Structure 1
Amino acid sequence: MSNKYVVIDLETTGNSVKKGDRIIQFAAVVIENDTIVDQFSSLLNPRQTIPVFIEELTGLTDEMVKDAPEFTEIAPKIMEMLNGAFFVAHNVLFDLSFLQEELIMAGYEGFYGPVLDTVEMARILFPSSDSYKLSDLAVQEGLHHDRPHQADSDALVTSELLLILFERLRGLPVQTMKQLHQLSGGLKSDLIDILEEFIMEKEKQIDYIPNGLEEFRGICIKKSPHVKEEQNRNEVYYPLDESDKELLLKKAFSAFESRQGQYQMMDIVYHSFQHERHAMIEAGTGVGKSLAYLLPALYTAVSDKEPVIISTYTTQLQEQLLQKDIPLLEKAVEFPFHTVLMKGKSHYISIEKFAKLLREEEDNYDTTLTKMQILVWLTETETGDYDELNLSSGGRLFWQKVKHDDSFSLRNQPIETRDFYLRMREKAKRADIIITNHSLLLSSLTADKPLLPQSNYTIIDEGHHFEKVAGKYFGSKIDYASTRFLLQQMGVSEQNMLAHKIETILQGDKASQEGLLHSFELNKMMSELLFTMDELFSILAMIAKKSMKPKVQGRLSCPFPLEMTREAKAFIAKAEHFIFLLTDYAKEINARLERLKKVNKKGSMHKMVVHETAAWLDDSEKLKICIRKTIQQNLSEEVSWIEADTRSWQNRTTLYLQPISVSNQLRDILFHKKRSVIVTSATLSVNGSFKYTANALGLITEPCHYEQIPSPFDYRNQVRLIISNDLPEVNSVPLQDYVSQIAAHIISIAEATKGRMLILFTSYDMLRKTYELIKESGFLQDYTLLAQGISGGSRTRLTKNFQRFDKAILLGTSSFWEGIDIPGEDLSCLVMVRLPFSPPDEPMIEAKCDNIKKSGGNPFYDYSLPEAVLRFKQGFGRLIRTKNDKGIMIVFDHRILSTQYGKVFLDSLPEVKATKMDINKTVNFIYEWL
């Protein structure tokens, strides 16, 4: 390929050249004929001070650039390099706009040639990558990136990445390339020119579809993997002796470590299955619980010729089981077995729907990019599972249009292998181990036609989440965004809307118009529906506003008024009117659907519209049931509340309804029906007792084996627990005074630990105030300060950024108390600002406590305390993830020592040395110990 590409990277004093920021380092790499032919880089004197954050990020200092040339001196060289070339950068708009301004200031016209963005290309060609940051892509592609955030290193890595992206593009089938070419006019960069050239190259060869791919509905997809013939398996015997277990596991691990706790757990799971009883097992960090239940599960499944279902809460654990633990199990055992991951239908793509939408013209950038990502992904995915894709928020909206639904199952045999959802269900029929999630397990247990195959054995991992998921499952929620999305899907006036497509098919057939309202009338009905929906959510927002405490910002929750206030009555009346309008509208759509079925037209358009209409009617019925359930709640058994956002009242308002307790439902659908259910997690007991969790899950009245298996880690030598004794009790001083004092403590501790610190809050308001105060103080300018809900990004992204910087401090609320893994030296200090009691005025908490009171119990000791202790244990579990980790945990809340109940928190931890200290002693101790 003869094109010339100049890959450029800049380091600058800030983000905006318009605000006076300047370039401090320029680097360029020239590529011709797929080969790097030239490199150039130079430090530049910006004639201004480099900010501390930029120094920390890039390693470039004022001293390093003081004798460097100014930009005007290297501008002629840059213009010469760019002559006749593509301008390439990782996030091209930043580098191009910066360079453009600098060139114009230096007296040049600037660059107006073609551009390529390696971020945009990577999104399209690596649709499953976790991240599109340059350093992450370098790791993924095995590129050596020794100095991230220095222009010469970044430019070289970007050029190597560009060559890999070209190679990936060339490897695609010509049909996929042509489809990408049709869409590429809507991109930010000039990929269209490259695609044209590659297509011409490809068409000189014999047109063929690469091995392992096939064409379906005009789209190239990966062929269904060949199903291995079922082999006759000899009888298998579970390794009862410790030496047999050891022999087995030695085959799987190159560096095998014998763990008594793991063997103990294996035997409990196996014997529980054999003797048909339930078990609750708390397995401390480092026990190796995944293999401890997988091994006996497999032997039981193969012996009984019946699958074992394993249910988890997080997709991370599902991935770990599939990618890491199952391959180890395959190495360990002598016999073949099958594993399948089962998810709900909305996780799988419908290729029929996608093929149809691919032909529709789009001017929306997100949709264009998503279509291109999916075209590439379909050449590599074996599952068709949405979780493999890394989509933007706009891309996630597009997925709603192409996801699988019940009304669109293709039953004729040749197509079945191309239907990812049906393919997964077929695999499940032969599986020994079925991995799924808590929600799907619950829906299968209550469905008339269960999705999961019949099984008497179930393992619930991450069991401390199961009650919460069950509450959501047995409850309901109505939110503004998805209600509006459902109604607008049907719409009339816009061409892409479903009602318009229905009318298009029915037009011309006069018989089909009899008894139907005209489009105009239908449109009027939809307008009234949307107007009523807006009013409905306005009333909810008004109720939330009225209950709001002064100066509260962000998300808030309040009970939906049980006493019939004026607003509550208005909401119920408006909800009933909305149901009435939706019922009328659905009748009209249903009448059209019946006519559609009779229209003698063939082709995918007609079939698609029939299926989509049926799916829409099904969803609208579910919405009506949801609203009815909410306005007819059983006050003694259910609680409803409103969650709203002060930044956008109506658009971010949700009404929830949930049962106060799920124990009876879980007992009836799960523990009464299955021969053996194993519930496991690292946090199930409170002060040695499983009573609280067993009660919540409905297991308390069932025959059940309870076991606590301690962690093999040496907590006494790996962890120090410090309780601050020089901070006031939070409620004894004004909040601002308390925040000032803890901010000062955090600054001192951070300087001693050099960052690598996670600070857990129970209140977002306190987190925000602390973050702002630390920022304003200027004491931690050298540190990267990350805060949940402020720094932006998901929990996973915040965690990755935390690990990326040496001197990082992360402030998190409730969701950071559990479920994140930060191994090794990345986390050496954990600060708990308060003991993690849930706010007593939260509607669900209030309802649970009232319930306990009515039945003669003590809400604090029966609910609030055990719930807080479990969360405290989860927070503690973040600190030590391997046997070589070392860490300090600091608790600012001295109720842990000054109250009677504080002892329950300490007694629930592994054996750890706890010491009271003031801040000066704490800082000295940290310097010595870490």
Structure 2
Amino acid sequence: MSLVDLAQAALAEDGPFADCIDGYRPRPQQAAMAGAVAGAIEQGDSLVVEAGTGTGKTLAYLIPALLAGRRVIVSTGTRTLQDQLYHRDLPMARTALERPVRTALLKGRSNYLCPYRMERTLEEGRLEDAEMADSLQQLKAWSGHTRSGDLAEHPAGPPPGRLVPRVTSTADNCLGQNCPLHSECFLMEARRQAQEAEIVVVNHHLLLADWSLRQGGFGEVLPEADVYILDEAHQLPETAARFFGLSLSSRQLQDLVRDTRLEQQREAGDSAELLDAAAVVERCSADMRLALGETGKSAWAAIRGEVTPLAQGLMNALHGLTETLAPQAARGRGLENCHRRAEALLGTLRAFVDHRDEDNRVGWVETRSQGFILRLTPLDVADHFAGHRERHGSSWVLTSATLAVGEDFGHFTQRMGLPDARTLQLDSPFDYAHHALLYLPPDLPAPGEARFNQAYLDAIEPVLRASQGRAFLLFTSHRALREAAETLRSRGWPDLLVQGEGAQQQLLERFRERAGGVLLGTQSFWEGVDVRGEALSCVMIDKLPFASPSEPVLQARMAWLRAQGDNPFAHHQLPEAVISLRQGVGRLIRDADDRGVLVLGDNRLTSRPYGRHFLDSLPPMPLTHRLDEVEAFFAQSSTSS
């Protein structure tokens, strides 16, 4: 039998998964996807698959991957999905198919305990509070018996965010083979296992970091593979733009200053000039942050005149630290590492300051409450992807629940450098026509009007009462989220779960456990969130998720598209917003028995011609403008349950 036949037979009603999955029912969409993936692997093709919610795409690509007998790298969007895939889905599929292939899970550096950095932090002994000191002692005890060193597996949960940089390594500060604890390195062991495995599970950040390293001539992290399967592929273009660019953060500068001081104490106590040079870098970094003002994002071209003198001062300070470290580097591995890092940061800063936007990259600054990041971002990553596909692997599968606009994959394939890829669109097997209702509240003002937020909240409150809570309220801005939380609480909805008032996973757990919960969230709740059953019966979205026109990268990309004769709205802003909306809508129906109402508050869906692109991209559910029909839907749901 061909790989296509084997993959599809595995999903038959009497196939091996019937005994592994309770209530197993074959899904034609899942079998079709498994066959398409198997065909791409056999023929060495590139395949782009949009698989609607409920298709079961994870099994649809894992089955041919396990049966193919080739080395496969599977990459997904987040570490949470990566853990789920490796610890739950892959073992189940491997057992069902009786394929004892070697597998490995590999994450980025910041996920693994670094014994050397931990010991240095213990030795330094300067921690901000008792919580960090206690967590550090727990990590020390755990390090003696963990096999993976993966912080996600720590019994007490991941350590406080402030401690993580002190007990993990970065590409900057890792000593590599010169590390005295190299033989105990959890990261190196994970990479060794990945080199020996037939299926390696990674995430997009690690995959793109590996490509970036190869592109810069600095070796590689991942093994060569025959097949690449990229899940949650809709995230790739924006994620790739960050990795194929340059960045320098105040955090990197702070780490360099701290490590220089520590190494001076250990290896060069007679060189007080090192402390002076490090202090100048620290002061110039602080001056730079102060000059950048409020938190937000700014195009470098817009602030170049007023900030360049401070950037030049920071360059001079880094140059001074580099020169001061140079004669001391031979005195110890730590000082040698600090010298190398100072040189690299100086080179990055110089490239950032000297660049001009004519090279199809945009310089911009992200200012945070305690720091800043300077970024140089490419406006187009298609050539980068095309080049890596040509150099690595023969078969490529890119999949997600949201890749097309209507039935058109052109926006995605163009951004990914995949003009000749085969495409396959598979609708969700869920019965949206009978299990879902789309409600467009009538007579709402335009989203740009000052009174929109309050009018929208007035319109959705009756829906919240009809649904008895059990709702996600998704917003396109933090300001709208805060205003909604304040208004709803003042109107007698005190028990709201609001993004920013707790960790995302904690909020989701409380939502699942609490009858009638109402959760308010922004972008991070629009995708990757899975709440099944009656706990979530309504998803409300205030506005169409167009990216803010003030975003520096978007502004530059729009200008670049205009220069090529393209329409930025039609060729970029609109398709990106359609895909983003579809992600938010995908939170509503997560299981075959789920029922729910989708509320969209943006009247541009019907008042503007482009609204049809959004409506045509949604699952096929009935549409109403009448509140009584929404109330009847929920009443029927209560009766049937």
TM-score (norm 2): 0.91
The offset of 1:403, in angstroms, is 10
Structure 1 888/584 Cα, relative in aligned 2: closer, same or farther at 3 Å? Answer: same
Change (3 A) 1:499 1:337: same
**Partner Cα distance (1:451, 1:370) in 2:** 29
Structure 2 match to 1:662: 381
Give the secondary structure class of the aligned counterpart of 1:253.
coil
| 1:872 is the counterpart of 2:585 | no
SS at structure 2 position matched to 1:269? helix
Find 2:311's aligned residue among 575, 594, 600. 575
Q: Is the 8 A contact 1:345 1:405 kept in 2?
A: no
Aligned to 1:612: 334
| CA displacement at 1:641 relative to structure 2 | 2.4
Cα distance, 1:299 vs structure 2 = 2.1
Structure 1 residue 502: Cα displacement: 1.6
Q: Tell me if the contact between 1:719 and 1:887 (Cα under 8 Å) persists in the aligned partners.
A: yes
Residue of structure 2 equivalent to 1:523: 275
User: 1:457 maps to what in 2?
Assistant: 227
Instruction: Determine if contact 1:282/1:682 at 8 Å carries over to the other structure.
Output: yes
What does 1:347-746 align with in structure 2 at a 5 Å threshold? Answer: 347-355=111-119, 357-359=121-123, 361=125, 364-389=129-154, 390-400=158-168, 406-409=174-177, 418-446=184-212, 447=214, 448=217, 449-491=219-261, 497-504=262-269, 518-519=271-272, 521-541=273-293, 555-562=295-302, 568-594=304-330, 596=331, 610-636=332-358, 637-644=360-367, 648=369, 651-671=370-390, 673-700=392-419, 703-731=420-448, 733=449, 735=450, 737-746=451-460
Q: Does 1:757 align with 2:471?
A: yes
Conservation of the 8 A alpha-carbon contact between 1:762 and 1:814: yes
* Residues 366 and 394 in structure 1, CA contact (< 8 A), matched pair in contact too: no
Number of the residue aligned with 1:787 = 498
- Which residue of structure 2 aligns with residue 848 of structure 1? 557
**Counterpart AA for 1:441:** L
Q: Output one character per residue of 1:56-88: Cα deviation in whole Å (capped at 9) or x when no partner.
A: xxxxxxxxxxxxxxxxxxxxxxxxxxxxxxxxx
Distance across 1 between alignment mates of 2:176 and 2:117: 9
CA distance in 1, matches of 2:170, 2:550: 41
1:140-194 deviation digits (Å, cap 9, x = unpaired): xxxxxxxxxxxxxxxxxxxxxxxxxxxxxxxxxxxxxxxxxxxxxxxxxxxxxxx
Pairwise CA distance, 1:721? 0.7
2:52 match:
284
Aligned partner of residue 678 in structure 1, secondary structure: strand
Q: Does 1:824 align with 2:589?
A: no
Contact 1:345 1:404 in 2 (8 A): no
Change (3 A) 1:690 1:629: same
TM-score normalised over the length of structure 1: 0.64
> Do the aligned partners of residues 372 and 522 (structure 1) sit closer, same or farther apart at CA in structure 2, a change above 3 Å counting?
closer
CA, structure 1 residues 618+900, in 2 after alignment: closer, same or farther (shift >3 Å)?
same
> Which deviates further from its counterpart, 906-915 or 663-672?
663-672
Residue of 76, 79, 86 corresponding to 1:315: 79
Specify the SS of the correspondent of 2:453: helix
- Higher normalized contact order (CA 8 Å, seq sep 6+, divided by chain length): 2
* Alignment CA distance shift 1:674-1:357 (3 Å): same
Relative to structure 1, is the Cα distance of residues 723 and 672 closer, same or farther in structure 2, using a 3 angstrom cutoff? farther
Q: Confirm whether residue 775 of structure 1 aligns to residue 489 of structure 2.
A: yes
- 1:294 aligns to what? 62
Output the CA distance in 2 between the equivalents of 1:401 and 1:591.
25
**Contact 1:835–1:893 (CA under 8 A) maintained in structure 2:** yes
Shift of 1:284: 0.9
Deviation (angstroms), 1:400: 4.1
**Deviation of 1:362 (Å):** 5.1
State the match for 1:512 in structure 2. Answer: none
Counterpart residue number, 2:91:
327
Q: Could you tell me which residue of structure 2 aligns to residue 345 of structure 1?
A: 109
The 2-side partners of 1:411 and 1:643 are apart by 33
Change (3 A) 1:457 1:237: closer
- Looking at structure 2, the residues matched to 713 and 440 of structure 1 have their Cα atoms a distance apart, in angstroms, of 33
Q: Tell me, what secondary structure is at the counterpart of 1:393?
A: coil
1:863 aligned partner: 572
Change (3 A) 1:333 1:405: farther
Is residue 926 from structure 1 mapped to residue 634 from structure 2 by the alignment? Answer: yes
Alignment pair present for 1:905 and 2:618: no
CA contact (8 A) 1:752 1:923 kept: yes
Partner letter of residue 634 of structure 2? I
Alignment gaps of 5+ in structure 2: none
The answer as to whether partners of 2:224 and 2:392 remain within 8 angstroms in 1 is no
1:260 paired to 2:28: yes
Give, in whole Å, the separation in 1 of the partners of 2:552 and 2:125. 47
Alignment gaps of 5+ in structure 1: 1-234, 492-496, 508-517, 546-554, 597-609
Secondary structure in 2 aligned to 1:893? Answer: coil
* 2:148 partner amino acid: T
Partner of 1:801: 510
Please give the alpha-carbon distance, in whole angstroms, between the structure 2 residues aligned to 1:679 and 1:272.
11
CA displacement at 1:833 relative to structure 2: 0.8
Structure of greater Rg: 1
- Aligned-partner residue type, residue 387 of structure 1: A
Structure 2: how far apart are the matches of 1:463 and 1:841? 26
Q: Distance in 2 between matches of 1:628 and 1:322?
A: 41
Change (3 A) 1:366 1:500: same
Distance change >3 Å, CA 241–CA 558, structure 1 → 2: closer
Contact 1:786/1:810 (8 A) holds in 2:
yes
Residues in 2 aligned to 1:568 and 1:721: alpha-carbon distance in whole angstroms: 47
Whether the 8 Å contact between 1:284 and 1:710 is mirrored in structure 2 is: yes
Q: Is the 8 A contact 1:265 1:292 kept in 2?
A: yes
From the superposition, tell whether residues 403 and 474 of structure 1 become closer, same or farther in structure 2 (CA, over 3 Å): closer
Q: CA shift at 1:422, angstroms?
A: 2.4
1:418 Cα deviation from its structure 2 partner: 3.5
1:383-442 deviation digits (Å, cap 9, x = unpaired): 112333421133224324799964143799xx8764322222222232110111212212
The Cα offsets for residues 645-688 of structure 1, whole Å up to 9 and x where unpaired, read as 5xx4xx34333321111111111122564312111011001011
Secondary structure of the 1:749 match is helix
Cα distance 1:417–1:480, how it changes in 2: closer, same or farther (>3 A)? closer
* Residues 513-544 of structure 1: per-residue CA shift (max 9 Å, x gap): xxxxx41x333222222222222223322xxx
Deviation of residue 882 (structure 1)? 0.7
Q: Give the Cα separation in 2 of the matches to 1:355 and 1:441.
A: 29
Determine what percentage of the aligned residue pairs are the same residue.
28
| C-alpha separation in 2, matches of 1:347 and 1:619 | 21
Query: In 1, are the aligned partners of 2:406 and 2:613 still within 8 Å (CA)?
Result: yes
Once residues 636 and 185 of structure 2 are traced to their aligned partners in structure 1, the CA distance between those partners, rounded to angstroms, is 61
Distance 1:402 1:846, change over 3 A: closer
Q: CA deviation at 1:752?
A: 1.6
Q: Cα RMSD between the aligned structures? A: 2.6
The whole-number CA distance in structure 1 between the counterparts of 2:186 and 2:97 is: 29
1:135 is aligned to none
